[in-house]
Amino acid sequence: MSKLFIKTFGCQMNEYDSSKMADVLKASHGYEVTSDPEAADLLLFNTCSVREKAQEKVFSELGKWKEWKEAKPGRVIGVGGCVASQEGEALAKRARIVDLVFGPQTLHRLPQLLEQTRSTHRPAVDIRFPEIEKFDNLPEPRAEGPSAFVSIMEGCSKYCTFCIVPYTRGEEMSRPLDDVLAEVSSLLDQGVREITLLGQNVNAYRGAMAGDGGTCDLALLIHILARFDTLGRIRFTTSHPAEFSDSLIEAYAEPKLASGVHLPVQSGSDRILGMMKRGYTQAQYLDKIRRLRQARPDLALSSDFIIGFPSETEEDFEQTMAMIEEARVDAAYSFIYSARPGTPAANLRDNISLEVKQQRLERLQTRIRQIGDEYARSLIGTTQKVLVEKTARNPGQLSGKTPCNRPLNFDGPASLIGQFVNIQVAEVLTNSLRGRLLGSAE
């Protein structure tokens, strides 16, 4: 049986796409996934180009695979994801060992591309954005454990001035509601209890509804999904503040919707937000958080930040620091701004020294860690409803996540995997919580 090794860089959308690549190649050519690249016949990289470092990682990685390819005739190397989308043919020219180049919207065409390169002995390239065709050509979803991702929309039409994604993944395209419901039903039939709805801007979801020809937004989708009896928890990521509608805030009255929200803000300075073309001010962002906390007092808030956007002053940065205090951001992905070729911001003069950027990033990360620790400690003694996902690394322990998305480990029998249980939080560890099993929460 042929073996497939996939290395994934970047976001959860890429993790989801990689699992779909495996499904497609299993269905077409019987490929089995291996975690050992040496045993593989086909090696795929699912790439990220959101920052320069992520992009360069791909080329340094490819450099390592020349001998691997030469060691066994017929071995194939493919590159998918955002770097592939951006570079196209040029990628196969720059890295001669590459046989397949495909984009996030053409991964379902892998079987044909594989046949093409085998018959022509030339690289096969397809990085188009065919209208949502991808989802119509994927095999039935396969559940791996009680928690699953479901991608409900693709691409982004926000064109933030710093971001490459609209160019690499295309404009926003939503899957029809019935398609999403069919995928969810299939996963629930396989024992899934928690669904994370995915999209680059998941709250821009506008799925076509059969019958009356209307559209379904994320809030309505959450209400519809909540009616599935065996579905115990709904999460979504990643969302855009400008699309965080009143109806989505009201959807937090639905107890199946998890209390952890990831809402990227990028900066607390209105001047920088304007230059980024984010479409909201600090006050508008804070107002949404205030109303979210009213709807859900136990809300946990994580966010994304870009530090050192061109012309960011000390004053701008202080506004970001003030904003995290007020919003109580307890976790974040934060990175130094990276100019992406072809984006409007790449034309701005990068006038801040690396030293200053690093100092600001360090200050921001330290403060968010402190808020995160305070938040975690506030959970001690509380009872958390947790979906038991798997056995933990420590023998005898099980692992799941709190509604606010914190990993939580506790002693218990493996027979509980796939069930909701009540856990009393006892201890805060570096990257997780430890708790005591109280009993079933079913």
Per CB under 6 A, residues contacting ligand SAM are 50-51, 162-163, 165, 200-201, 238, 240, 264, 266, 304, 306, 335, 337-338, 340
Pick from ligand F3S, ligand SAM, none: which does 159 bind, CB < 5 to 8 A by kind?
ligand F3S
Q: How far is the CB of 42 from ligand SAM (least distance, A)?
A: 27
Find the binding residues for ligand F3S in span 6-35 (CB under 6 A).
none
Helices (H), 65-147: 66-71, 81-87, 89-94, 110-120, 133-136
12: its two tokens: 């959860």
Alpha carbon separation from 411 to 112, 387, 441 (Å, rounded): 48, 14, 16
Residue 198 in contact with ligand F3S, rule: CB under 6 A: no
Stretches 61-69, 154-162, 178-186, 283-291: which one binds ligand F3S (CB under 6 A)?
154-162
The strand pairing partners of 306, in sequence order, are 335
Stretches 108-116, 161-169, 347-355, 388-396: which one binds ligand F3S (CB under 6 A)?
161-169
Q: How far is the CB of 159 from ligand F3S (least distance, A)?
A: 6
Stretches 151-159, 189-197, 331-339, 415-423: which one binds ligand F3S (CB under 6 A)?
151-159
Pick from ligand F3S, ligand SAM, none: which does 51 bind, CB < 5 to 8 A by kind?
ligand SAM
Q: Tell me the pairing of strands 331-336 and 100-102.
A: unpaired
> Distance between CA atoms of 186 and 183, rounded to whole angstroms?
5
Torsion of CA 156, 157, 160, 164, to 10 degrees: 50
Q: How far is the CB of 55 from ligand SAM (least distance, A)?
A: 11
What's the CA angle centered on 228, arms 190 and 134, to 5 degrees? 60
Nearer to ligand F3S, 201 or 409 (CB): 201
Nearer to ligand F3S, 75 or 277 (CB): 277
Residue 158 in contact with ligand F3S, rule: CB under 6 A: yes
Alpha carbon separation from 67 to 34, 51, 123, 137, 395 (Å, rounded): 19, 28, 18, 34, 39
Q: How far is the CB of 337 from ligand SAM (least distance, A)?
A: 5
Q: How far is the CB of 357 from ligand F3S (least distance, A)?
A: 19
Nearer to ligand F3S, 168 or 384 (CB): 168
Helices (H), 9-103: 12-29, 52-63, 66-71, 81-87, 89-94
Find the binding residues for ligand F3S in span 220-249 (CB under 6 A).
240
Q: How far is the CB of 202 from ligand F3S (least distance, A)?
A: 11
Alpha carbon separation from 393 to 179, 397, 404 (Å, rounded): 36, 7, 22
Instruction: Kindly give the interhelix angle for 177-189 and 218-226, rounded to the nearest 10 degrees.
Output: 30
Q: Tell me the pairing of strands 194-198 and 147-151.
A: parallel
Amino acid at position 66, single letter: K
Task: Return the residue of 107, 163, 192, 275 that touches ligand F3S, per CB under 6 A.
Answer: 163
Alpha carbon separation from 276 to 76, 118, 127, 280, 305 (Å, rounded): 40, 45, 27, 10, 12
Residue 201 in contact with ligand F3S, rule: CB under 6 A: yes
Q: How far is the CB of 106 from ligand SAM (least distance, A)?
A: 19
Provide CB contacts within 8 A for 192, sequence distance 6+: 143, 145, 146, 147, 148, 231
Pick from ligand F3S, ligand SAM, none: which does 340 bind, CB < 5 to 8 A by kind?
ligand SAM
- As a residue count, the chain comes to 442
Residue 54 in contact with ligand F3S, rule: CB under 6 A: no
Residue 166 in contact with ligand F3S, rule: CB under 6 A: yes
Stretches 98-106, 119-127, 146-154, 162-170: which one binds ligand F3S (CB under 6 A)?
162-170
Q: How far is the CB of 12 from ligand SAM (least distance, A)?
A: 10
Q: How far is the CB of 158 from ligand SAM (least distance, A)?
A: 7
28, 111 contact by CB (below 8 A): yes
Name the site residues for ligand F3S (rule: CB under 6 A).
156, 158-160, 163, 165-166, 200-201, 240
